[in-house]
Every structure is written in C-alpha cells, then in structure tokens.
Structure 1
C-alpha cells in the first residue's frame, strides 16, 4: 500500500512538471532582454574612378610641359579636359608616344559626357595601320602618303587624328605620313568635357592636346615638328588634370632630337631640339636658332 501511494505521488509530480513546462509564463522585467540584430559590415564597394582623386580642377591644371608619363602594363591614366557647354562638331587630338605598339592594342579612348567619342587602336596587320572609331563608326586607316617637311621628333612618335562633322572626313597622321581621308559619323556632334583614358598602353606619353576643330596641314606640321603651337582648347598638356592607378611614373621627358629641318637664314639645316614656353599665350617652341622664326598660329 505504501509503495502504491509513493508511486501515485511520483506520477502526480511528473504530470504537474510536464504541464508547467508547456505553459508560456510571462517574463518578468528582469528576465526581459533586448536583442540587437547582428550586422556584417562590409568595406564599401567603389569604382576605380571614385577611388581616384583629380590632381586639380581643369581650370587650374598642372603644367606638364617637358614632362612625360611612363606607363606600365595594367596601369590606367585618365586626363580630363576643360568644361564644355556647347556641341563639339569637329576636333583634333594629338599626342606623342614611345611604345612597342603591340597589335590590337587600344592606345587611348576619348569620351564626352560618358559617350564614346574617339578610340584609336593598333591594327593586327601592321604598324602603319590603325583602327579609328568616332562615335559609333569605325574605319581602318593606313598611313600611306609621305608629307614633305614634316620631319620627326626622335625618339617620339607623333600621332594626330582629325574629324569634322560637316563632312565626316577623318584622317590619321603619324609622324611624316598621313592616311587617306575617310567619312565617319557625318552630321553628328558631341557634348561635354573630354576625358581621355590610356589603359592597356605601355610606354611613354607626352604632349597630349585636343582642339575643337580639324587642324589644317600647316598646323599639324607645326605640332609634328615641335616648332610651336598653342595649347589645345579642349584638353591641354599645359593645364592637365589627371588621375592614375597602378604603376605609372611622371618624370622629365626625353629631349627630342629632330631630323634635319629646313634651311635657316644662313643656309644651314637646323636640328630641332626640346620645347620651351613662349609668349603670353603659352605657345611651345623649339629652342635653337630656328626658334627665331616665331610661333606658328593655328
């Protein structure tokens, strides 16, 4: 009887404990806890451009006369031009490079208001041939015609591209050679400040300029020979605002040694040498006896 009573009490205890555990009793103030959600903080993801810092505003850019960038593979340099509040219906882009010019390599790209404006890339078929893209049009341009008295600023290779919306005529200039004129993107225009990007290019670059017109032959010769030329009015090496990423070094440019030039007043042929600033307009001219001939206007 005693054993039966004990067993009954034990069963009652187990039953009460089971019921109690199934009841959700309200927590006391002391028992209440506040749970703070756990968040994982990730480093902000930013584009390359937002990671960069412009060296200065375009209106007060850095004067890079007599300087060059040495750009290693995988590096990117971007140059920003002056503010532009009207349509650009013609342009000339010039620069000097020292590069091995590997096939199918984009030398540079130019955009205006983030729209593709100009891309120049080497051709897989030869060094005297390049692919030029203006807007949404693309042509292969061969430098086939020799231009008398153009000369060459060794060790630099001077490259220029001209385009005019009215006719669509586009032309490539490489040292003393020019391509035939081909029609591209006729009747179109671009808006906004130009932005030039060099990526995939390996070598040296200097004297980048952009004008808002297709320069005539005499002015292109002036740039090519380094005899004197006003700075570009859309993008200028004399007021450069730029960013860089990767292995790129800004250093003194090589002094250019030109081929024998035209005869001076004494009848001697003069060699072209390095550049210096000249006059209030900031034109750049060659030092040496030939500098007395003055600056060529554009």
Structure 2
C-alpha cells in the first residue's frame, strides 16, 4: 500500500504531456509573474529553430520566448523591441528591422540559429530576414524556458514592463535549422513537421499566475 501511494504521488507530480492542438495560451494582463514554463530534458544545442504564432495589441517592448541557462540568461530569446524583432543567442542580440508586423493580427514567427555559421535569422509569416551574426558557441547547461516573460536571472527576475499580453499558439522547437521550405509550410499550416524538442501536440508545461488555455480564435467550433 505504501509503495502504491508513493507511486501515485510521483505520478501526480510529473508533468504529463498535453495535446494543445486547436488551443492557445492567453496572457490577459501585464504582470511580473504570469508565464508558462516549458519542460525539456535537453541541455546542449549546436542549432535551434523555434516557431510559434502570436496575437497582441502591445506597442511597448515585450518578451515572447525566453530560454536561459545558468551562465547566460539570454540563451535563446525572442524579444519584440519598438522597431524590431531581436533574436538573442548567448546574449548577442541581432535586430531584424523593416518586417511587415501589424497589431491585432495573428503572426507566425520562426527564429533559426546554428553554431557552425554563428548566424541567426528571423522569419515572419513565411518571409525571411537577412541572416545576422549571433554566436558560434553551443547553448548548454540547465535549461529553463519561459513564455511571456524575460528571464533576467536563471528562472526569474521578471519585469512587468517586458511581459507579453496577448495570445500564443502552435509552439515548436527543433535541434536543427529548418529549411526555408519547412518554415513556409509552418507559416501556411500545411503539413509541417512537429518539433523534436518541444511539440505543441505533446507539450510538457506549467503555468504560473493568470495564463488561460482556451480554444484558438481561428477555430469556428
């Protein structure tokens, strides 16, 4: 009986992957607490692609996806500045400007990076930016990933003025650089390969504060 109770306790504490197809995370208010923490056992990357879709009316700066390791808080970061998107890799943050970004509209965004070239690139709605220098060193260490906040320490030090307010869905992460054709398939939602590190259809996560899981606005049912 004691062994059964222990097994039940262990099972209840473990994060169970959820299929979020047709769902979205809603971040309804500015806060220095509300975020989604994603779980991965991976601790070393020499290449990364992260894709997701989001909707917001924010005109200030905000963080969307923040991956931190103990030695580098901006391990892999999507940050929307006033006039650009920043994709930070190991604290190097190239700015991608002149993209066709509008408020109150769903956008598909992908960021790619590989250590071999050291170059990062941003794709907005299937359209590429220039490729820009970031880092030639691997991202490694104990990884913490937060959606909706910017980690200024490993797992914390959030600033409400950098928090995301809006909706987010269809997040995937790969340990390689997706090809242009694969990214365009993601942007058009047509038969794209799911992430092999983070997969929206089998996502381990924990929410903190007011973050809602709702039916995606794009669905009619």
Tell me, yes or no, whether TM beats 0.5: yes
- Cα distance change on mapping 1:218 and 1:249 into 2, 3 Å: same
**In 2: Cα distance, 1:208 partner to 1:163 partner:** 17
| 2:52 corresponds to | 95
Structure 2-normalised TM-score? Answer: 0.76
Asked if residue 138 in structure 1 is aligned to residue 138 in structure 2, the reply is: no
Is the alpha carbon distance of 1:72 and 1:103 closer, same or farther for their aligned partners in structure 2, counting shifts above 3 Å? Answer: same
Q: Where do 5+ consecutive residues of structure 2 fail to align?
A: 1-11, 150-162
The match for 1:221 among 177, 184, 187 is 184
Say which structure, 1 or 2, has more relative contact order (CA 8 Å, 6+ apart).
2
CA contact (8 A) 1:102 1:122 kept: no
Partner deviation per Cα, 1:125-155 (whole Å, 9 max, x = no partner): x3xx21221112121112559xxxxxxxx95
What aligned pairs does 1:254-273 form with structure 2 within 5 A after superposition?
A: 254-255=217-218
Mapping of 1:111-122 within 5 angstroms? 111-112=68-69, 115-116=72-73, 117-122=75-80
Q: What is the correspondence of 1:70-81 to structure 2 with a 5 Å cutoff?
A: 70-73=26-29, 74=31, 76-81=34-39
Q: 1:43 maps to which residue?
A: none
Rate the CA distance shift 1:220–1:176 in 2: closer, same or farther, 3 A.
closer
Give, in angstroms, the shift of residue 113 of structure 1. 6.0
User: Relative to structure 1, is the Cα distance of residues 114 and 188 closer, same or farther in structure 2, using a 3 angstrom cutoff?
Assistant: closer
1:160 is matched with 110
Instruction: Answer with 73-82 or 238-247: which moved more.
Output: 73-82
Question: Shift in Å at residue 105 of structure 1?
Answer: 1.6
1:198 aligns with 2:198: no
Judged with a 3 Å threshold, the aligned counterparts in structure 2 of structure 1 residues 55 and 160 are, in CA distance, closer, same or farther, namely: farther
1:209 aligns with 2:172: yes
What is the DSSP-based 3-state SS (H/G/I as helix, E as strand, rest coil) of the residue aligned with 1:118? strand
Q: Indicate the RMSD between aligned Cα atoms, in angstroms.
A: 2.6
**Using the alignment, how far apart are the partners of 1:183 and 1:227 within structure 2?**
30
CA–CA separation in structure 2 for the residues paired with 1:248 and 1:132: 24
SS in 2 for 1:229: coil
Given that 2:49 and 2:110 are in contact with CA atoms closer than 8 Å, whether structure 1 keeps it comes out as yes
Contact 2:46 2:114 (8 Å CA) reproduced: yes
Q: What is the Cα deviation at residue 197 of structure 1?
A: 2.9
Change (3 A) 1:111 1:247: same
TM-score with structure 1 setting the length: 0.58
**Do the aligned partners of residues 55 and 132 (structure 1) sit closer, same or farther apart at CA in structure 2, a change above 3 Å counting?**
farther
Summarize the alignment of residues 5-24 of structure 1 with structure 2, pairs less than 5 Å apart: none
Give 1:212 deviation, angstroms. 0.2
